Structure 1
Amino acid sequence: AVASIGHFPDKRAGKKGVEPEGMIKGTFGDTNYLFVLSERGSVVGVYDDSAADEPELVQLLPSGLSPESGVAIPARNLLVTANETDLGPDGGVRAHVMLYAYEDAEPNYPQILSDVSRDPLIGFGALSGLAADPSDASKLYAVNDSFYSAQPSIFIIDAKQKPAMITDVIRVTRDGAPAEKLDLEGVATDGNGGFWLASEGNPDKEVPHAVYHVDGTGAITETINLPEALLASQTRFGMEGITTVGEGDDLTLWMAVQREWADDEKGFVKLLAYKPATKEWGAVAYPLETPEKGWVGLSEITANGDNVYIIERDNQIGEAAKLKKLYKVALSEMQPAPIGSQLPVVEKQEAADLLPLMKTASNGFVVDKIEGFTIAADGTAYAVTDNDGVDDSSGETLFFTVSLN
C-alpha cells in the first residue's frame, strides 16, 4: 500500500523498510480506528478496526518527516502526529506536528497512485519530468530520476482519474538490460510511439549529459552527446526538461539547463536547441530571478501553441520557499545562436504562480522540487513534484492542475 502512493523508502528496502514506529487508537463516530505510523515512509495508515476478524486499511495520510508518536482527539475530530526529523541545520523544515481533521469529505491525498490491481504493482517515486500524449487527453508520461538509477522508467498516467493513476510502465533499456548512468529529468513524445529523454550528467560520477531517443519499448535507439564546446564549461546541474518544436526536417529539440555553467553570465542559463536532421546545436539565454536564499534554477520546459513554458524555482522548502513559478517565452523569441557565440536573451512572462497551489495541495509544508509540467491534448495543464525517493523528504508526490495566465 505504501509503495502504491510512492512512499516506499527504497534505500531502506534491505533494512527495516517502511519501519512502523507506533500505533494510535481512536473512535470517531461509530468507527474504531487504528493509526499506524511509518517512520521511514513518512505516512500514516488508517485502519477500520470495527470488524471482528482483521483491521481494514481505508486511507493513507501523508505525514511530515519521520512520524514518531501521536494522539487521537475524537472530541475535536482530530488526529495529531509528532515528526522527529529536524532538517533545520541544513536549511530544511524543523521537527513538527501534523493535524488531521476527520470529515465527511473526499480525501485530498494521494493525488497520484499506482494501480493496486496490477500484478506486479508498479512502484514509483522521484518523478522528474512530465509529457502529454499528443492525441489522448487522459494520457501523460513521467520519468524517474537517478534516485532509481538501477531502473530508469517511463510511467504511463491516466490523468483523468482521481487520484491520477499510474497504469503501466516502460523500462528504459540499453542492449536489453536496464540502462545505466542515466539521470532522467525530461521526457517528450516523438510522434511515432517513442520518446526523447533528457539526462542530467554529473562529471564527478562519470554520468554524461546526453539526450536519448527510445522506441515504444523503452530501448535506446540513439544517443546524442553534448558537443565539446558545451562540455568544456559543464557542471553537474544539467538538462532539466526536454520538448519538441516542429516536425520532420524542421524538428528541434529544446532542453532547459538548470543552472549557470562556467561560460554563462551570472543570472542567465541556457535553453539548448538541437536539430536531429542537421545535428546542429544552438542556444538562447534565459534570465533567472534573483534568489532570496539558496539558488534559483530551471526544472522543466514544455512547448505548447505559440509559447514554451518553463518552471523556475528556488531550492528552498517550507517557509523558506519563495519562488516556484511557471514562465512562458514566445516561440518567436526562440532563435538559437551557435554555441560559443553571444546568445540572444529571451523575454519571459509569468504564466502561473505555483507556490499557492503547492501550499494548498495537501496543506503540508511546501516541498522543494516542482519538477514536471505539461499541457494535455485538451488544454488541461498539469504539474508534479519530485519526492526524492522519500530520502530526507516527506515523500509527498503532489499532482495538480494549473490555470495559466
Structure 2
Amino acid sequence: MKLNKLMQAMLLSAPLILVGCNSDNDDSSGSGNNDTVASSFVRVATLPVCVQIDAECDTDTETAAEIVDVSDDGQTLIYTDSPRGVVGFVDISSPENPAPLGTLSLGGEPTAVAVRGQYALVGVNTSASFTNPSGELAVVDIASRSVVTTLDLGGQPDSVAVSPDEAFAAIAIENERDEDLDDGRIDLTPQAPAGYLVVVDTSDADPANWPTRDVDMTGLASVAPTDPEPEYVDINSNNIAVVTLQENNHLVLVDLATATVTDHFSAGDVSLVQVDTAEEDIISQTDSLANVVREPDGVTWIDNSHFVTADEGDMNGGSRGFTIFNTGGDVVYTSGNQLEHLTARLGHYPEGRSENKGNEPENAEFGQYGDAPLLFVNSERSSLVAVYDVSDPQSPRFLQVLPAAAGPEGVKAIPSGNLLVVASEEDDRGTFRGAVNVYAYAEQASTYPAIESADRNDGTPIPFAALSGLAADLSDANRLWSIEDSAFRASRIFGLDISTTPASLDRELRITDSNGVLAALPTSGPTADDSAFDDTDLAALINDDDTVNLDPEGIAVSTSGGFWIASEGSGTVGDGDRPVESLNMVVKTDAQGVITDVVTLPDSLNNVQLRFGFEGVAEYNGKLYVAFQRAWNSEANPRIGIYDLTAESWSFVFYPLDTVESRNGGWVGLSDLTSLGDGSFLVLERDNQFGPDAAIKRIYQIDLADADADSTVSKTLKRDLIPDLTATGGLVPEKVEGLAVTANGDVWVNNDNDGVDDNSGENQLLHIGNTSDL
C-alpha cells in the first residue's frame, strides 16, 4: 500500500504513535493508513435511538441522543433525549451490537447526565419561562432504571459533572436567555435571573441526604457581569471545577470542597486567516476574521493544570476551533483554522454555515488510553470527531477523525473498555436520525476518511463535498473521476488517486464555457414563451469568469479525450412551484474542463420534463448512454437514452425499477451506470431512504448490445450494497450515486453527502470487489 505525503510526514515526525491521520501541527490536516498496524479508533456501531420506540425505527417521532455517560462497569450507556423528555439506556456489553434497554420519563427536559456509582445524575429543566426558570437533579438507579430521589436546583440546569473521587457533583445552572430579545445579545440586554453553579456533596450513601450549595458567579465577567450563563462544567482530580460562561466569554474555576471561586478570566479572542466567511455556494477559504471572541461551549480537563475548551463562538463569524488553557488563564495552544481546513479536506465543511460558525466545535473530552493521553473534539456542523494526542499541551498532535451521525453533542471516553461513545442529537426522519456512535480502540488501521484532498498552491486543501457521479480513467486503473452537483456554483470535475488509502482527491477542474458553446445553445423548448432558455436562465448558468453553474450528476471519460458530464435539468413542466430553469444536457469538455459540445434531448421530451432527469452517463462504441433518474410523462419506468455520436440522434429503452420496499415509502430511481465494454452495463439503483428506512441500494447488470428501441430491458441483480454500507459501522446513506469500473475490473461506489446540508457529511468511497466477483 502506498503512503500519502501526510502519512509520510507523520512517520518522520512521530514514529511512536501511528494513528489514522496527522497534521504535524500546522493548519493543514490530512490522514492516511499504512501497512504498520497501530492503535486507532474505528467506528463499530451506530444505534439510532428511535429503536427505543420501534425496533425497526418505523416512527416519525423526533428522538435525540444529546449527552451520554456510561455505568461504572462500562456495560450500560445512559443518554438524554430532550425531545421526548426521557433518558435512554443502551447495553454495550457487545460494543459492535449495542442493544436498547428502554427509556425513563423524567417529567421535564433532561439536559445532561453524569454517572456516580450506581446512579445516573440527570439535570432536568422544568422551567415555565425564561424569567421563571426551574429545574431538578433526578437521581436515577441505573440497574432498576427508576428515580430514587430528586434535588431542587432552583434554576435551569445545562451540564452535570461528577468528580473523579465521586465526592461531589457540580451542575451548571444556565438560566438561558430569550434569544428573540436584541437577537440574544447579552452585551446589549442582560436578562435576569442570573445563572450559577450548584455543588452537591455526594458522600452520603443515601442520595436523599445529599446537601447542595450555590456558587454565585455574578460580577466576574466583563461581558454582562450581572447575567452569568454557565454552559458546561468539568472536574479534575483536585476537585476543582472549570465552568464555561459561554455568552459571557468567561471561564471560572471553583473549589468544590469550599464551594468558592478560586480564579476566573476571560476566554479571550482569536484571529483567523484562510477561512470561508461568505455563504455563496462556493467553499473559498481565503477570508480573515479578526478578534473573534471564543465563547467556549464544552470543556474538559486534560490534567490538573490544563483544560480544553470547544470554542463554538456565536459572535462575529465564529471562533471555529479549540483552545488549551492553564489554570492561570494563559492560552498555551489554540487551533486556529485547523478544524476549518480539516473539515474541508475531508468533504465535511458546511458551506451554508460560513457566515456563522463554520464547522462549529461543540464539545471536548479527554481520555487516557494506556500511554496515550487523547483529546476528542466534536465538530457539530461537520459531524466529525477530531482526535489529538495531548502529551504536550503546548503542541497537541492531530491523529485521526471519526465520522458521526448528524450533530454530535455528547462525548464520553471509556478507556477501561477501549471505547469512545458519541451522542448525536439531530433527528428528522428521511435525512438523519439521533444516534449513539460507538468506536473501538485497538491495534488496527483507521477506516475513515475514505477520501481526503490535496493542497492547493496557497496551502489550503481542495475543498469538496456533494460528490455525485463516478467514472474510471480509461488507462489508469488507479484513477477515478467525480463531479460536484448543484449544491455548489462554478461546477468542478475532481480526480481521485485510489492507489492511496484514503483516496487522494488531487485534481480539480472548473468546467468553463470559455469558447461560448453553452452560451450559443439554441433557445427552444417548453417555457411559457416557447424558449427553453430565456436570457435570464442562460445567464444564470454562466458566470462572468466563464465558469458554469450546472447540476452535474454523471461523468464519463471520453474515448476522444476529456469528459462527458450529464447535467440534470432543473424544474418540471407545468409545475408552477418548480418552473423549468434548465434542460437536461450532456456536456462535453476537454481535458482542462472547457466545454466543447452540448447535447440536449429532443423537444418532444423537453416538453414533458420532470425534475428527476439525467443521472449517470457512459460511453461505449460510439454512443452515449444516459440514465434518467425516474419515469417521465406518466410512463411506467425511467428511460435510458442512447445518443449516437455520429448520427447525432437519440433512441431510448426503458429500465424496470424495483418496487418501493421501504417502510417509509418514498421512491426508487437510477443513480449511475457504467459500461463493461461488451454492450452490457452495471446500473446503480436506489431508493430515497436513509438509515434504518433504506431498503434498495443495488447494482444490476443490463445488456444493451441488441436492445430494441422503446423496449423494456431485463436486469440481473449483481450486488446488494446495504451490507457493504452497514459494514462501515454507520447509518446507510440515502444518496448512493456513483458507480465506476476501473481498467482492471475493480468496482467502486460513492455517496453524495448533499454538501453537508441536512446531512452528516459522511463520504464513503467503497471498493466492493472485482466484476468477476459480483
Length-normalised TM-score, structure 1? 0.93
Equivalent residue number for residue 504 of structure 2: 165
Q: Quote the offset at 1:53 in angstroms.
A: 2.3
Following superposition of structure 1 onto structure 2, how do residues 172-321 of structure 1 map, counting pairs within 5 Å? 172-175=511-514, 177-203=545-571, 204=579, 206-246=581-621, 251-265=622-636, 268-292=637-661, 293-306=665-678, 307-321=680-694
Residues 221-280 of structure 1: CA deviation (Å, up to 9, x unaligned): 11112111111221100011100011xxxx110000001111412xx1100011122110
1:388 partner letter: D
Equivalent residue number for residue 408 of structure 2: 67
**1:263 and 1:230, CA in 2 relative to 1: closer, same or farther beyond 3 A?**
farther
1:224 partner letter: V
C-alpha separation in 2, matches of 1:46 and 1:287: 46
Q: Quote the offset at 1:178 in angstroms.
A: 4.9
Q: Quote the offset at 1:393 in angstroms.
A: 0.9
Q: Quote the offset at 1:303 in angstroms.
A: 0.7
Q: Quote the offset at 1:32 in angstroms.
A: 0.9
2:449 aligns with one of 102, 110, 115: 110
Q: Quote the offset at 1:117 in angstroms.
A: 7.9
1:389 aligns with one of 727, 752, 755: 755
Alpha-carbon contact 1:181-1:208 (below 8 Å) kept: no
Q: Kindly indicate whether residue 721 of structure 2 is the aligned counterpart of residue 322 of structure 1.
A: no
C-alpha separation in 2, matches of 1:158 and 1:175: 28
2:357 partner letter: K
1:255 partner letter: V
Alpha-carbon contact 2:347-2:761 (below 8 Å) kept: yes
Alpha-carbon contact 2:432-2:760 (below 8 Å) kept: no
**1:12 and 1:323, CA in 2 relative to 1: closer, same or farther beyond 3 A?**
same
Q: Quote the offset at 1:308 in angstroms.
A: 0.7
Q: Quote the offset at 1:332 in angstroms.
A: 2.4
Q: Quote the offset at 1:198 in angstroms.
A: 0.3
1:375 aligns with one of 741, 750, 771: 741
C-alpha separation in 2, matches of 1:32 and 1:92: 35
Deviates more, 1:186-195 or 1:311-320: 186-195
2:473 partner letter: D
Q: Quote the offset at 1:52 in angstroms.
A: 4.4
Alpha-carbon contact 2:405-2:433 (below 8 Å) kept: no
C-alpha separation in 2, matches of 1:71 and 1:116: 33
C-alpha separation in 2, matches of 1:6 and 1:42: 11
1:258 partner letter: Q
Residues 54-100 of structure 1: CA deviation (Å, up to 9, x unaligned): 21111011011011121111111111111111113xx3443111111
Equivalent residue number for residue 135 of structure 1: 475
C-alpha separation in 2, matches of 1:114 and 1:147: 18
Structure 2: where are the runs of 5+ without partners?
1-341, 516-544, 572-578
C-alpha separation in 1, matches of 2:418 and 2:394: 26
C-alpha separation in 2, matches of 1:105 and 1:364: 18
Instruction: From the CA coordinates, give the structure whose radius of gyration is larger.
Output: 2
C-alpha separation in 2, matches of 1:181 and 1:382: 27
Equivalent residue number for residue 3 of structure 1: 344
C-alpha separation in 1, matches of 2:433 and 2:718: 32
Equivalent residue number for residue 340 of structure 1: none
Q: Quote the offset at 1:205 in angstroms.
A: 5.6
1:281 partner letter: W
Equivalent residue number for residue 713 of structure 2: 346
C-alpha separation in 2, matches of 1:18 and 1:326: 34
Equivalent residue number for residue 465 of structure 2: 125
C-alpha separation in 2, matches of 1:334 and 1:162: 40
2:408 partner letter: P
Count of aligned positions:
389
**1:201 and 1:73, CA in 2 relative to 1: closer, same or farther beyond 3 A?**
same
Q: Quote the offset at 1:116 in angstroms.
A: 4.7
C-alpha separation in 1, matches of 2:347 and 2:505: 11
2:625 partner letter: W
Alpha-carbon contact 1:185-1:240 (below 8 Å) kept: yes
2:599 partner letter: I
Between the aligned residues of both structures, percent identity stands at 40
Alpha-carbon contact 1:233-1:263 (below 8 Å) kept: no
The residue matched to 1:229 in structure 2 has which SS? helix
Tell me which of the two structures has the higher relative contact order, counting C-alpha pairs closer than 8 angstroms and 6 or more residues apart. Answer: 1
Structure 1: where are the runs of 5+ without partners?
338-342
Q: Quote the offset at 1:193 in angstroms.
A: 2.8
Q: Quote the offset at 1:181 in angstroms.
A: 3.7
Alpha-carbon contact 1:195-1:213 (below 8 Å) kept: yes
Equivalent residue number for residue 764 of structure 2: 398
Q: Quote the offset at 1:217 in angstroms.
A: 1.1
Q: Quote the offset at 1:305 in angstroms.
A: 2.7
1:69 partner letter: G
Residues 322-360 of structure 1: CA deviation (Å, up to 9, x unaligned): 11000011132444x2xxxxx111010011111110111
The residue matched to 1:328 in structure 2 has which SS? strand
Alpha-carbon contact 1:173-1:179 (below 8 Å) kept: yes
Alpha-carbon contact 1:333-1:346 (below 8 Å) kept: no
The residue matched to 2:638 in structure 1 has which SS? strand
Q: Kindly indicate whether residue 704 of structure 2 is the aligned counterpart of residue 331 of structure 1.
A: yes
Q: Quote the offset at 1:121 in angstroms.
A: 1.7
**1:205 and 1:123, CA in 2 relative to 1: closer, same or farther beyond 3 A?**
farther
- RMSD of equivalent CA atoms: 1.5
Residues 104-149 of structure 1: CA deviation (Å, up to 9, x unaligned): 100111111112586342111111111111111111110110001x
